[in-house]
Structure 1
Amino acid sequence: MSGIFAFLAVGYLGWRLIRRAPRNRATRVRHFHGGQTSIARDHARGEAGEALTRAELRRVLTSLCGNDFYLHDGAVLLNHAPGTAYPTAEIDHLAVTPFGLFVIETKNWSGYIEPGADASELVRVGPGGKRESRKSPLAQNRSKVALLNAKLPKVWTIEGLGVFSAPDCVLHPDLPPTLIHINELSHCLRLRRHEFRLSGQKPINVSTAWKAIMLNASIDANELEEHYKRVRVIPQVVARNAV
């Protein structure tokens, strides 16, 4: 009788080991895919934020300019460093208007956004008071604005803006006025238009400006994909700045 019990005990332990092995492997697979899913989720959140900003930009500019503006329906690549490992820089939204060119970086960040240690950094305060240091969209835009200023006529106004599109995002009052919530976009651009009209400057020819920009930029889908492949080799940078 004791032999039967011993046989049954060994059989039961073997069955438990067999059951456990695939479950552990499945867990590892889920953990691996979980990381990939997290990156994909962040990317999708970023794209959703950009879509919100693009729609609001189009609504506001139509109100201010009628049909006399250009807003590309997608990202624009600037050829800012030809011949280097990272020759291109992505602009989320490039709005060309009679009263200025606007280089806009969208962030779909929730929480409270505070100034960081310096002008290049921001602090996001999330649920439970968790604090994260992130690169400011103004810092991300700086080299892009500088390139356009160097390549385009000096009389054209070119400005970088950072737009936060999440409805549950709150901005600290000490942040620069060029960092705005999406709800402030209408007032911001209306103010820029008003200041331009008071300046007496000649309006920018939208078609001419776009053609001039394209001498140093691209909207080609293949070139955009090559750009994304290059930046994806630094996942921590993508994760830090994607949304």
Structure 2
Amino acid sequence: MEILAFILFIGVVIAFLLQLSSSSKGAAGEARVNSSLRSNLNSHEYYVLTDLTLPTKGGTTQIDHIVLSRNGIFVVETKNMSGWIFGDANKARWTQVLHRHKTQFQNPLRQNYGHLRVVQDLLGIETKQLHNVVVFAGSAEPKTDMPENVLWDTRELSDYIRSRQNAHFSDNQLRIFKERLNRNALDANRETNRAHIKHVKAKVAEQQNDKTKCPRCTAKMVERSNRKSGEKFLGCSRFPKCKGTREI
């Protein structure tokens, strides 16, 4: 019993350290992006807001960076990753290949789309006045064609933001937007972060339990039959690219 308890304890410690490492890595990437934005963008023309947790109808959403400018509102999702990245703007899942190990992750453009909708509703602005931007802050390299709003260097981000030249807002509007976002943002503390993580896990669990969606990529499920046994099951509509299954 003592050996079993010790093994369980070690397992819990390892899981905690892995989660802490992932969290620290993400925070380091966000810090690099924040530093780059504040160093390269004129503070009289751009407002940079970082790590905002905003309330939503179903819980909260956490936004890495928002840049307010006369030429639009830029909502930035940061990924601190290494290795090769394979993806497409229209695919639900992207793939990271690192040391021959493949890991799938949610399309960050789609992930950030939800953030845009929250900002749009809060500020009461039009879709054309918003910019969905993803920046990879680590050493990751794209191995497929990517849209121009997916960037691979923190310095590229500031250049991309400055390149948008269609004026939408006055200086007074920007000040109002900044005040509204800060006023609605939840306090940046451990309790807020824990509540947000709990909300995210609940959403993931809900997706996992939705039998109409693939548990791996969230695509539509279709009924299939086992060739040998004839047994019916639900398979991902993206097969053979995705081999997610569910029991009927």
Q: TM-score, normalised by structure 2?
A: 0.69
Corresponding letter in the other structure for 1:132: T
Contact residue 164 and residue 180 of structure 1 kept, 8 A: yes
155 and 139 in structure 1: CA distance in 2 versus 1, 3 angstrom threshold: closer
Q: 1:147 aligns with which of 109, 112, 118?
A: 118
Q: 2:188 aligns with which of 194, 198, 221?
A: 221
Identity %: 22
Alpha-carbon distance in structure 2 between the residues aligned to 1:145 and 1:31: 38
Greater helix share, structure number: 1
Alpha-carbon distance in structure 2 between the residues aligned to 1:157 and 1:42: 33
- Tell me the secondary structure at the aligned position of residue 148 of structure 2: coil
Structure with the larger RCO, 1 or 2 (CA within 8 Å, 6+ apart): 1
41 and 124 in structure 1: CA distance in 2 versus 1, 3 angstrom threshold: same
Query: What is the root-mean-square deviation of aligned Cα atoms in Å?
Result: 3.0
Matches for 1:1-243 after TM superposition, within 5 Å: 26-61=6-41, 65-72=42-49, 74-81=50-57, 84=58, 87-115=59-87, 118-128=90-100, 130-150=101-121, 151-154=123-126, 157-166=129-138, 168-181=139-152, 182-192=154-164, 195-196=165-166, 201=168, 203-205=170-172, 206-214=174-182, 217-221=184-188, 224-225=192-193, 227-231=195-199, 233=201
Structure 1 unaligned segments of length 5 or more: list them. 1-20
Moved over 6 A (4+): 21-24
- 1:42-92 CA distances to partner (integer Å, 9 max, x unpaired)? 11111111111111111121xxx34232222x41122221xx3xx211101
How many residues in Structure 1 have an aligned counterpart in Structure 2? Answer: 202
- Tell me the secondary structure at the aligned position of residue 30 of structure 1: helix
Structure 2 unaligned segments of length 5 or more: list them. 206-215, 217-248
Q: TM-score, normalised by structure 1?
A: 0.70
> Between Structure 1 and Structure 2, whose CA radius of gyration is higher?
1
Contact residue 156 and residue 204 of structure 1 kept, 8 A: no
42 and 116 in structure 1: CA distance in 2 versus 1, 3 angstrom threshold: same
Greater strand share, structure number: 2
Q: What is the deviation of 1:229? A: 4.8
